[in-house]
Each structure stands twice: as structure tokens, then as C-alpha cells.
Amino acid sequence: MPSWSLKRGRASARRVAAVLRSSPAAFATTAAVLLASAAAGTLLAPASDETGAWWAAGAGTILGGRPWAAVTGLLIASGPPALLLVVLLLLPLLIAAERRLGARRLVLAFLLTGALGTTVGAALQSVGASVGEWWAGDTVGDHTFDPLIGGVGALLAATAFMGGLWRRRLRVTVFAVVLMFVLYAGDSADVYRLLAGIAGLAIGAVLAHGVSGLRPQRPAPSSHRESRALLAAVVAVTALGPLVAVLSDSGYGPFSFLGRLLQSAFTGAADLEDPCGATVRHCAHHVRLNLISPGPILLTFVPMILLLVAAYGMRSGRRLGLLLAIGVNAAIAILDIVLLQRAARHPDFQYYAEYLLWVATTVVVPVAVIVLLAVGSRHFRIRAPRESARRWSLVVGIGFVVSLGGYLALSASTRTSFEPVLGIGRLLLDGLLRFVPSSFLGGHGLLAVPREPLARLGFEWVGPVFWLLVVVAVIALLRATDVQGVRGDEAVYRRLLVRHGAGSLGHQGTWQGNEHWIAPDGEGGVAYRVVGGVAITLSDPACAPERRAEVVAGFVAFCDERSWTPVFYSVHDELLPVFDGLGWSRISVGEETIIELGGFELTGKRWQKVRYPLTRAIKLGIEPVWTSWPELSLGMASQIVDLSEKWVSEKALPEMGFTLGGIDEARDPDVALLLAVGPDGVLQGITSWLPVHRDGRIVGWTLDFMRRSDEAMPGIMEFLIASAALRAQEQGAEFVSLSGAPLATAPVPEGEQPPEPTALSGLLEFLARTLEPAYGFTSLFRFKAKFHPRYEGLWMAYPDALQLPRIGAAIGRAYLPDVSPREALAFARALGARPEEKAPPAEKPGAEKPGAEKPGDEKPAAEKSGSEKSAAEKPGAAKPAQEKPTAPRPEKAPTAG
């Protein structure tokens, strides 16, 4: 087995052991449930009536002389399917709760909230049954085994120990799911879970803050994004709730009648007698066949699908999603009013009042949702582009006309095959009803059915096909974003860069593909790009230091209005207090290497491997030429382009962008170029340098673009970087940044202990090892170490840990926006090669031999010809001079290539 496989297996084992150590009570509770279920005989079969009568929670057991059932009902699963849910749902809930509560409080919360939920629920059932309440009368004899009752209570108790954002999110999410089951299914276990959750809120507040924690607290204000997410959750719950009612065996929930609208409406003999005459049985047979066919069944789910699509759009702040949700709920309410009128015609059965109320909820729910959405409409400001909206209207309108016209033409040609035979007026009405779910019609519009196969095909599928077109068109319109009016002025951003600066990487914000947000007063700006709904910034904000918090808050509000997730990428340590104040999280995304120019000298043994290439270049007549792209001769510009294109073609890997510049970025007149030009006028290497401003003057330069020719002198990059540092020092610059090394970690100073590893740091280390064969980030970091830099962390700050997968995907697409199949294959091959298969382990920074080059900067020794070897490798070679070298004065670019 390869060594890397063994290492991965050991790492996985260590992570599992760490989880076991951190959550002993969660695993112990789950194990207790498994053991109790085995003892009760429910591991392989459902619980028997005798087991339920003694150990299950319910009014008959808890209030009937067996109070222990309030606890034992929490420790036994009702059967194999429930046991599977225990493993898949209960264990994660308990692990999450234990991380906040601790082991002892977790066990206490699990048992106490579960016992309170079942006991109070049993008491309510007993009282309700005694006064003739419908639900209580039907459920008072239930026997309930459900460990999730205590799991829900424990998790909600743990929310008292969480921050405001996570506390609100978990509470809203958990209660939305629990209430959905209570309202649409209504089993005893559903009600017990709700009561246990309420008890969990109270118990958690007492555990966290004492009795004072029970006092009502004013809820913290929600952002636009948070409000949109909550309203979208409400719409999604109302969409999925009827499906829960259909799947539930009981249907006791007050809203469970909505589930009946997903089922085929009952059509009795009285409904068929008039249109079918004496052939009632034969006609009913045809109706039944058409009701259970795939087309009408799919059409039944159209309201649910449209509401889910609306919730998807609402979560992103799309006004179209809001309007769609209001429209669908309005249509449901109108159709439900018809059903309510029909239900009111039969007042002669025992539970008429409760039945009428039950049916009335089908109107109350959509109306309540409409009111809620109307109140929160201010949170949905993103409108679709007008051109996209017109195109959508055209597509849907033409689709409806073609669908209806085609069905009517087909029906008219086969009109005699319908049973009963339809007239022209009824045929037109029947065509319109094909687009309405059959269950909303209450038996009407389903009575004329075709017998010809071709007519039946249109009868069944014209509705589903049209609504499929609508759903696809709506999703496409929701994804269309109007970006007009959100772009700032690049010229203003450049002026802010010169006046205030934006960190050592701020000039990257001027590159193509970035947008610019400018503060209302024009005294602050942020460069960003939107990828998949994530607004990724570059470096620090361009503003005065004392205004950083204000500018960050302004940009965050700007993103919130557009439902973008703001992510500040490659920011420096000075910004971290701002994000701490916002309650954001952060992770290290690299280390920046900075050469301080105050007292910078290439003297002493520690600089030997940098000084030697510089001295050798002087002897070989290689000149450093400090220039910019507009000052280049046509021939030299052509050499640079050819050199870059050759480098890209030889790598056969996708060229990365975003924070890694290329030829296009080097064309900026504000970017300095340092060329290594041989005595024959041939370009041997090139570096580009981004200006760093403060108070209107250049205080530093940041390395961006590096290329070398195959025929270049060994050590040409060291020569260029050292020459740039000396040149910048002469100009009065304070520092030279060698830019950041992605996923690299600075060496731990002597005497200090490395930080404790975490799951996230382990993931970053894995990414660094995986990407190393393809891009050599670690090798580049080691190469820069020979310049004895100062290390400064680069950070990514983000508001929500749940968005990390989405953020990671967006950053990956920002670096590699366009990857051809050939590049993707080469990339996969490079990643498949393990580092240990590529080269022997690299030495630590500072341990290279004098004259050692950047990995990949020159050919391996086995591939060199004798003339290519460094003079330092040959016997009798002159030793490098120890005195400070005099750097050749950079000249302007040669006039000829």
C-alpha cells in the first residue's frame, strides 16, 4: 500500500478518535438507545403491543401508573427504520449539543426535556379526550417510542450557549421542521417533540444564565440576508408540508387537509350520474384510469414545485421569487375557497365543526403566507433585467398558446372518442382545466375522458409539459441578474489607491474582471468580483486607516442588499479587529514575504546564495532594465510575449488568474517591469512590480509576474529580485513584497510551539499537499525564504461558516474561470502525482547549499549539459565575493529587441 494511503488512513483514524473523545456523552446515549432497543426486541422487528403497553410514552402509560414510560419511551426505537434514523439524526444532534453543553448537561437536557415533552403531551391528550376534542380523542391511546424527542430538546437547550447568529438560525430551522410535522402530520411523537423543544429553550436559558435567563429578551435585528432566508424557509415549509401530510399515516395535523390536495379527489357515483347517465360504472372506470396515470400525478405536484422554486429565488433576494410565492399562494387560496364551500354543504355528521375548521386551514395558510411576504417585501430588491423578463413572458405566453391550441386541435379531431362526447364549449373548458391539478377541481373537469391513445396522450401530458417549461423559464429568469447601477468608477478607485493605499496587494484591484464599490462620500472603495453569488474582495479597502470599519460595514450592507455573500480575501492583520467586531470568522490563506529596505545590504554569509547570482550577472554583462510596458520597444515586447506564451504552453496546466497576474496585467502603465537583458539584447527573464502607495507617494513594490527563458543564467530570478530591491531602496521605498504564497505557513520561530491542529487547518494542509505537484506553492515559498523576509499573514474573513463550501467553490472559479478539457486532464494528472513521487523531500528554508536555485528555476542536474552548469559546481571555480556588490544601474529598455 502506498505510504500516502497509510498516512491518510491514520489521519482519518485520528479524526474519528478525536470526535469520540470530544463527544463521549453523545456516543454513550446513542449506545444506550441501541442496547435498550435490543432488550425490547425492536432491533429487527417493530415493537409489540405488550412492549408498548409497558415502556412506550403516552397518556395511557405515563398517567396510567407507569410513569417510567416518560423516560423509557426516549431510549427505545419503535423498529428498524426508526433505529436507522437514530443513527443518522440523533447522533449528529447530540454531538452538536454536547460541544456547547458538555457531557453532564447533555445527558440532563436529553432526559429532562424528553420527559417533560412526553408528560405534558400525555396530559394534554387526556384532557382533550375528556372534553371530546377530535385530535386528542384519536391519539390518547398511542404508544410512542422516539429518541428524537430528547434529541430535539437537548439541541435547543444548547442554543442558549451559542452566539446570536447561530442561536437564531438553529432555533428557527428546528422549530420550522418540528412545526411542519405537527401541523401537517400531527402524530403524538410530533407534538411531544414540539413540547420538548419548548422545554429545551427554558432549560437551556436556566443552565446558561440562571433563572434570569427566563426573562423575555428583545430579539436582535436581522439583516436583509437573514430575513430573506427566514421568509424563504417559511415558503419552503408550506411547500413541503402537504407532502408530509400525504406520507403520514395519521393525518391528524390541523393543516393535513392540504395534503389531500396532493391526492386525487374522490369522485362518487352521484358526481358521475349526470354526465355519464346510465354508464356510471364504465365512466368511473375511465376516470380512475386517467387519475392514476403519470401525467395527472405529476401535475398534482406543480404548486409544491413552484413554491420551492420561489423559495430558491427568495433566498437570493430576487423579487420574482417573492411575486411567484404570492401568486401561487393566492391561486391555492382561491381554489381552496371552492372546496370550503362544498364542505359546508354537509353539516350532518358528528365532527362537522372541526371538519369545517380543518378544511378552512387550506385557505388560512396561503393567506397568512401572503400577508407575511407582503410585510417583508422590502427585503427583496433584486429585479430581473427587463430584457430577460420580456423574453420570459414571450416564452411562457407562446408556450401556453401552443400547448392549449395543440390540445384543442387534437381533441376536436378526436371529439367523438371522449366519454361523454363533448360540445365545442365544453371542449374549450376541458382544455383550460388540463393545466390545473385535478385535486383542486373536486371532481369537476375530470369526467370527460378520451379513449383514443393519441387523445389520451394529450389529455395526460399537455399540463405537465407546459408547467415544466414554466419552471425552467422561471429558474433561468431568477439566475439573470441586472448588474447595472452597481458598478463603481475604476478611476475613482485608482485615485483612492494613490491617496490612501489598500495594502501591498491593493493594485490587484485594478485588474480586469473586478468591480469597484465606492463609498457614498467617495472617500473609500473596495475592489471585488462576484462569482456564484459570492462577492470576493481583493486585499484591504482603499481608505484612510481610521475609516476601515466604516468602509467594510458599507460594503457588507451593499452586498446584503443584493443577496451576495461578502468575503474579504487576502487581507492583512490590521483588518482583523474590524472583522472581530462584526463577529466574522477567518482563516489563513497564505503568507506574504516582505523585504524591509531600511538597512538592506547583501553582505555576510547569510546572503551568499543571493549575492552570487548578482555578481555573476555583472560579470556576464547582464543588465537589469527598469521600465514599463509603454516604454518597451516593439522587439522587446514581442520577446516578453513569446517568453510568457512558451512558459504557459510547456506547463500544460491552466494558467491561474484572480490574484496571479500575467501579460495583460503587466501592460498597465503604473506597473514597473524589471528585465534581465543579456549583452546580445536577448531577454533572459522578467519580473513585474505593482506599486504600493500611501499619502500620495510610492512606499513599496509588490512582485507579481515572473518568467525566465530556458537559456537564462542560473539564478536569474535571484538577480532580478535583488536588483529590484536595490533599485527600490535607491528610490526611497520602505519595502519590497514578494507577494503571498497561497496555502503556505510561515516557519515557527525558535522557542515557540506550533499551534494546535484543527479540522480546518488539516483541510488546508491537505489542499497544499494536493496542489503542490501542479503549482508548487510550497516550493515558491521556500525559494522566497532565501531573501530573509519578514512574514505577514494573509487572511480570508467571512460572515458564515455554513457558506465555506460555496465560498471555496467561488474562489476556485475565480482562480480558474476558463479551463479547457485538455488543461483539466493535465491538471488532474498533476494532482494525481504525489509529492514524494515527484522529488525527494525539500530542505528547510535556509538549509540550501550556496547557489541553490528555486525548484523548477533550472533544469535538473541530470538533464543539464556541461555548459549549463553553474561555475560554483566546477572544480576551481572562483568563490563568491564577500563584499557588498555594486548593483548595475538599471537602464531604460533597449531600443531594439
Spell out the residues 6+ positions from residue 756 whose beta carbon is closer than 8 angstroms to its own: none
Residues 170 and 290 in one domain: no
Contact 206, 156 (CB under 8 A): no
Q: Which helix (H) or strand (E) holds 202?
A: helix 188-209
- CATH number, domain containing residue 650: 3.40.630.30
Greater confidence, 728 or 821?
A: 728
Query: How distant, in Å, are the alpha carbons of 6, 52, 422, 439 from that of 10?
Result: 6, 45, 74, 57
**N-term to C-term CA, the chain:** 55
Spell out the residues 6+ positions from residue 620 whose beta carbon is closer than 8 angstroms to its own: 678, 679, 713
> What cell numbers appear for 839 in the block?
522529488
Residue closest to 839 by CA, chosen among 773, 775, 765? 773
pLDDT-derived band at 777 (thresholds 50, 70, 90) equals low
Range from 76-85, 321-330, 357-366 carrying the lowest mean pLDDT: 357-366
Residues 572 and 609 in one domain: no
What digits encode the pLDDT tens for the residues 286-295? 444 455 567 7
What is the predicted pLDDT for the residue at 447?
Answer: 55
Query: How distant, in Å, are the alpha carbons of 224, 333, 336, 366, 382 from that of 369?
Result: 18, 10, 15, 5, 21
Q: Which residue is listed with cell 354543504?
A: 345
- CATH number, domain containing residue 134: 1.20.1540
pLDDT-derived band at 266 (thresholds 50, 70, 90) equals very low
What digits encode the pLDDT tens for the residues 880-890? 333 344 444 44
For β-strands 565-571 and 790-798, DSSP reports them as antiparallel
Residue 893 is assigned to a structural domain of this protein? no
Exposed, middle or buried by CB within 10 Å (0-12, 13-18, 19+), for 509?
buried
Residue 250 is assigned to a structural domain of this protein? no
Residue closest to 488 by CA, chosen among 465, 510, 459? 510
pLDDT-derived band at 209 (thresholds 50, 70, 90) equals confident
pLDDT at 124 over 80: yes
pLDDT-derived band at 45 (thresholds 50, 70, 90) equals confident
Exposed, middle or buried by CB within 10 Å (0-12, 13-18, 19+), for 140?
buried
pLDDT-derived band at 36 (thresholds 50, 70, 90) equals very high
Residues 671 and 533 in one domain: no
**Mean pLDDT of the 296-302 span:** 80
Residue closest to 563 by CA, chosen among 316, 312, 377, 383? 316
What is the predicted pLDDT for the residue at 170?
Answer: 87
Contact 897, 633 (CB under 8 A): yes
What digits encode the pLDDT tens for the residues 275-289? 444 444 445 444 444
Contact 549, 526 (CB under 8 A): no
Query: How distant, in Å, are the alpha carbons of 58, 69, 114, 145 from that of 53?
Result: 9, 9, 19, 11
Residue closest to 314 by CA, chosen among 242, 221, 393, 235? 235
Contact 566, 559 (CB under 8 A): yes
Greater confidence, 794 or 837?
A: 794
Residues 100 and 201 in one domain: yes
pLDDT-derived band at 684 (thresholds 50, 70, 90) equals very high
Instruction: Out of 479, 503, 532, pick the residue that ends a domain.
Output: 479
pLDDT-derived band at 783 (thresholds 50, 70, 90) equals confident
pLDDT-derived band at 895 (thresholds 50, 70, 90) equals very low
Residue 240 is assigned to a structural domain of this protein? no
What is the predicted pLDDT for the residue at 896?
Answer: 32
Domain that holds residue 154: 18-214
SS3 for 189? helix
Residues 705 and 556 in one domain: no
Instruction: Out of 214, 240, 268, pick the residue that ends a domain.
Output: 214
What is the predicted pLDDT for the residue at 781?
Answer: 76
SS3 for 449? strand
Residues 337 and 444 in one domain: yes
How many separate domains does the chain show? 4
pLDDT at 119 over 90: yes
What is the predicted pLDDT for the residue at 624?
Answer: 92
Residue 89 is assigned to a structural domain of this protein? yes
Greater confidence, 830 or 356?
A: 356
Contact 847, 785 (CB under 8 A): no
Write 549-555 long-range contacts (CB < 8 A, 24+). Answer: 549/578, 549/581, 550/519, 550/524, 551/519, 551/524, 551/525, 551/526, 552/526, 552/578, 552/579, 552/582, 553/582, 554/517, 554/519, 554/520, 554/524, 555/517, 555/526, 555/528
What is the predicted pLDDT for the residue at 270?
Answer: 43
**Mean pLDDT of the 694-701 span:** 92
pLDDT at 822 over 80: no
Cα–Cα distance for residue pair 458/54, rounded to 1 Å = 57
Greater confidence, 179 or 424?
A: 179
Greater confidence, 433 or 231?
A: 231
Cα–Cα distance for residue pair 133/126, rounded to 1 Å = 10
Helix 164-184 to helix 188-209 angle (10° resolution) is 160
pLDDT-derived band at 254 (thresholds 50, 70, 90) equals low
Q: Percent of the chain scored above 70 by pLDDT?
A: 71
Residue 395 is assigned to a structural domain of this protein? yes
What is the predicted pLDDT for the residue at 32?
Answer: 93
Q: In sequence order, what DSSP letters do the residues of 517-545 get, joined into one string?
A: EE-TTSSEEEEEEEETTEEEEESS-EE-G
Q: Which helix (H) or strand (E) holds 859?
A: none
Residues 415 and 518 in one domain: no
What is the predicted pLDDT for the residue at 416?
Answer: 66
What is the predicted pLDDT for the residue at 893?
Answer: 37
Query: How distant, in Å, are the alpha carbons of 275, 432, 543, 851 from that of 488?
Result: 67, 49, 15, 48
What digits encode the pLDDT tens for the residues 605-636? 888 888 889 989 989 999 999 999 999 999 89
Residues 577 and 636 in one domain: no
Neighbours of 811 (CB within 10 A): 20
**Mean pLDDT of the 871-894 span:** 38
pLDDT at 482 over 80: no
Contact 538, 659 (CB under 8 A): yes
Residues 515 and 657 in one domain: no
Greater confidence, 39 or 251?
A: 39
> What cell numbers appear for 710 in the block?
530556458
Instruction: Out of 152, 180, 214, pick the residue that ends a domain.
Output: 214
Residues 506 and 564 in one domain: yes
> What DSSP designation does 58 have?
S
Residue closest to 437 by CA, chosen among 241, 275, 263? 263
Greater confidence, 343 or 191?
A: 191
Amino acid letter, residue 762: G
Residue 823 is assigned to a structural domain of this protein? yes
Contact 627, 792 (CB under 8 A): no
Chain centroid to CA 193: 29
**Mean pLDDT of the 206-228 span:** 72
pLDDT-derived band at 140 (thresholds 50, 70, 90) equals confident
What is the predicted pLDDT for the residue at 1?
Answer: 47
Contact 846, 574 (CB under 8 A): no
Contact 158, 97 (CB under 8 A): yes
**Mean pLDDT of the 491-510 span:** 91
Chain centroid to CA 547: 30
pLDDT at 264 over 90: no
- Taking the CA atoms of 602, 605, 608 and 614 in sequence, report the sign of the dihedral they define: positive
SS3 for 437? coil
Cα–Cα distance for residue pair 726/603, rounded to 1 Å = 13
Spell out the residues 6+ positions from residue 73 whose beta carbon is closer than 8 angstroms to its own: 55, 56, 57, 58, 61, 114, 118, 144, 145, 146, 149
What is the predicted pLDDT for the residue at 9?
Answer: 64
Cα–Cα distance for residue pair 232/147, rounded to 1 Å = 29
Range from 155-159, 275-279, 597-601 carrying the lowest mean pLDDT: 275-279
Q: Percent of the chain scored above 90 by pLDDT?
A: 31
What digits encode the pLDDT tens for the residues 510-535? 988 889 999 998 899 999 999 888 99
pLDDT-derived band at 98 (thresholds 50, 70, 90) equals very high
Q: In sequence order, what DSSP letters do the residues of 732-761 get, joined into one string?
A: T-SEEEEEEEET--PPPPTT-PPPPP-HHH
pLDDT at 739 over 80: yes
pLDDT-derived band at 215 (thresholds 50, 70, 90) equals confident
Residue closest to 703 by CA, chosen among 827, 494, 854? 854
Residue 200 is assigned to a structural domain of this protein? yes
pLDDT at 196 over 90: yes
SS3 for 889? coil
What digits encode the pLDDT tens for the residues 381-404? 777 788 888 888 899 999 999 988
Chain centroid to CA 233: 16
Query: Whole-prediction pTM value?
Result: 0.63
pLDDT at 116 over 50: yes
Residue closest to 30 by CA, chosen among 91, 103, 96? 91
What is the predicted pLDDT for the residue at 578?
Answer: 94
Q: What is the mean pLDDT of the chain?
A: 78
Residue 9 is assigned to a structural domain of this protein? no
pLDDT at 792 over 70: yes
What is the predicted pLDDT for the residue at 352?
Answer: 58
Residue closest to 716 by CA, chosen among 688, 738, 683, 680? 683
What is the predicted pLDDT for the residue at 472?
Answer: 92
pLDDT-derived band at 751 (thresholds 50, 70, 90) equals low
Residues 658 and 781 in one domain: yes
Greater confidence, 414 or 666?
A: 666
Q: Hey, which of 144-158, 652-666, 787-801, 828-842 has the most confident mean pLDDT?
A: 144-158
Cα–Cα distance for residue pair 833/771, rounded to 1 Å = 10
Residues 609 and 647 in one domain: yes
What is the predicted pLDDT for the residue at 388?
Answer: 84
**Mean pLDDT of the 679-699 span:** 92
Spell out the residues 6+ positions from residue 636 whose beta carbon is closer than 8 angstroms to its own: 675, 677, 683, 893, 894, 896, 897
Greater confidence, 20 or 530?
A: 530
Cα–Cα distance for residue pair 318/476, rounded to 1 Å = 12
Range from 17-31, 132-146, 414-428, 661-675 carrying the lowest mean pLDDT: 414-428
